[in-house]
């Protein structure tokens, strides 16, 4: 099976001359179709920088990133922008929903921009919104929704184009424990029922315990990697805590 994402010796350096800050060392990694992969590490370890570089929001100083057999470095800025819109999905901590648009309009916006026929748009929306328990809220605006409902709306928006890869940046960071659990179960359902491929940056061991594999970043380098395998989520959670203790990371939300 070919990986969806291949990163080879990714480096990111900020500054110049005598004032250089190496945010990422030399990171190589792969993500395969249908995987739910987590990225963890202490504050300032380079987690968000890695996500931004891998998702084409930022450019690496050196190294190669390939998504779905497309080398990002070989694409023009316009091609990268279109690729990001059409082939990638994004879930952010602050939802990034448009307050002047209804729940439905927020979700289908990527399809509207791509001029997908309205019949297809409505069909895809209905299927997704019902799966995530949002269909009855379709005419409400983001300000009328709870945090959990807004984040599930963001998940649906990320899935509506059937992207090759979804990037989630601290998606549970603004949610209470019940809403966070609902969101993580929704992401798991997207992986299992839609074969979605998800790369999630999180500092939260509870959120990470839903992943199948976790990369731990320290000082801009991969410190270690662990697999869930046959462990149940409680066992995997405890394994995550053990690594975070070694890294000096946060211990959040015990199961």
The string of pLDDT tens digits covering residues 143-180 is 999 999 999 999 999 999 999 999 999 999 888 899 89
Return the CATH fold of 5-247. Answer: Rossmann fold (3.40.50)
State the angle between helix axes of 147-159 and 118-131 in degrees (0 to 180), rounded to the nearest 10.
130
pLDDT tens per residue, range 61-115: 999 999 998 999 999 999 999 899 889 999 988 888 999 999 999 999 999 998 9
Query: pLDDT over 70 for what percent of the chain?
Result: 97
How far lies 105's CA from each of 55, 74, 170, 216, in Å?
A: 24, 33, 24, 37
> To the nearest whole number, what is the mean pLDDT of the chain?
91
Question: What are 35-61's pLDDT values in tens digits?
Answer: 999 999 988 889 989 999 999 999 999
Residue 253 has pLDDT above 50, yes or no: no
pLDDT at residue 254 in the model: 44
For residues 219 and 57, the answer to whether their CB atoms sit within 8 Å is no
Q: Is 252 helix (H, G, I), strand (E, B) or coil?
A: coil
Averaged pLDDT, 181-210: 93
Residues 6+ apart with CB under 8 A from 234: 209, 255
CB neighbours of residue 92 within 10 Å? 17
For the chain, domain boundaries: 5-247
Question: CB atoms < 10 A from the CB of 116, how many?
Answer: 15
Q: Which residue has the higher pLDDT, 22 or 7?
A: 7
């Amino acid at each position: 099976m070919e990986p969806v994402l291949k990163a080879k010796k990714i480096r990111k350096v900020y500054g110049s001359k005598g004032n250089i800050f190496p945010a990422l060392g030399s990171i190589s990694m792969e993500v395969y179709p249908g995987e739910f992969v987590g990225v963890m590490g202490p504050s300032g370890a380079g987690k968000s920088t890695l996500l931004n570089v891998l998702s084409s929001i930022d450019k690496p100083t050196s190294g190669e990133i390939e998504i779905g057999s497309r080398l990002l470095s070989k694409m023009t800025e316009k091609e990268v922008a279109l690729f990001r819109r059409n082939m990638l999905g994004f879930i952010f901590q602050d939802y990034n929903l448009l307050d002047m648009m209804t729940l439905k309009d927020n979700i289908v916006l990527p399809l509207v921009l791509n001029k997908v026929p309205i019949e297809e748009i409505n069909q895809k929306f209905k299927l997704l919104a019902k799966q995530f328990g949002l269909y009855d809220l379709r005419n409400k605006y983001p300000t009328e929704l709870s945090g959990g409902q807004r984040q599930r709306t963001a998940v649906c928006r990320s899935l509506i184009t059937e992207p090759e890869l979804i990037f989630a940046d601290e998606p549970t960071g603004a949610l209470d424990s019940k809403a966070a659990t609902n969101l993580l179960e929704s992401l798991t359902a997207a992986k299992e029922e839609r074969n979605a491929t998800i790369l999630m940056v999180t500092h939260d061991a509870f959120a990470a315990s839903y992943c199948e594999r976790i990369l731990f970043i320290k000082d801009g380098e991969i410190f270690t990697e662990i697999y869930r395998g046959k462990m149940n989520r409680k066992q995997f959670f405890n394994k995550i805590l053990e690594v975070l203790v070694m890294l000096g990371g946060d211990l959040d939300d015990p199961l």
